[in-house]
Structure 1
Amino acid sequence: MKTTKSIMATLGAALLLSGCATQTALVNSSPKLNNAPQTAAYSKSQSFYVSGIGQQKTIDAAEVCNGADKVAKVSSSQQPKDILLGLVTLGIYTPRTAEVFCR
């Protein structure tokens, strides 16, 4: 019983101490960029294995936004659900969420 409590406390502390990591690239840096929509035109969870070492995924943002000039920003983030799945699988499965924002 004491072991279960310590395991749960460790998992809880790891979840609380792990932050959400986000990388964002602003594609078109113009004054209109501030008016970019806050909801993603494309949002999808991407699967990576063994912490994603040496792996990459590609999204054609120009195709999503119907033209390269209409792409406002792209981002890749590790959301709480992604972190939880990584913790549960001990880093074997580590998904990330990719998003594309259009103007």
Structure 2
Amino acid sequence: MMLESAGFEVLNIGVNKSAKEIIEKVKEYKPDILGMSAMLTTTMVNMKEVIDIAKEEGLTENMKIMIGGAPTSQIFAEKIGAYYSPDASAAVETAKKLISGAVV
């Protein structure tokens, strides 16, 4: 919602999606940024799986990956190869920097 308010086109594919389902949507829509959010630590594992598959398939060459959500952290994001935003407002600023090519 915050990203849309800032002028970004957002495709929300819903919750509880498998890594395979997310990767299929990435291939279909070719986003500039893939954003993932976790509400529980149990879903954080899926984030790493998505990123690993995206890297293996060369999808990260033209796409940045952002994560957020209550159980995530900057350390976790760095560990899995994603950009981190602690809240929705910060996500807007991070997305703007990623799109402009600025250092995040």
Query: Shorter-chain-normalised TM-score: which range?
Result: under 0.3
Task: Kindly name which structure, 1 or 2, has the bigger radius of gyration based on alpha carbons.
Answer: 1
* Greater RCO (CA < 8 Å, at least 6 residues apart): 1
TM-score (norm 1): 0.23
TM-score (norm 2): 0.23
Going by fraction, where is helix more abundant, 1 or 2?
A: 2
Going by fraction, where is strand more abundant, 1 or 2?
A: 1
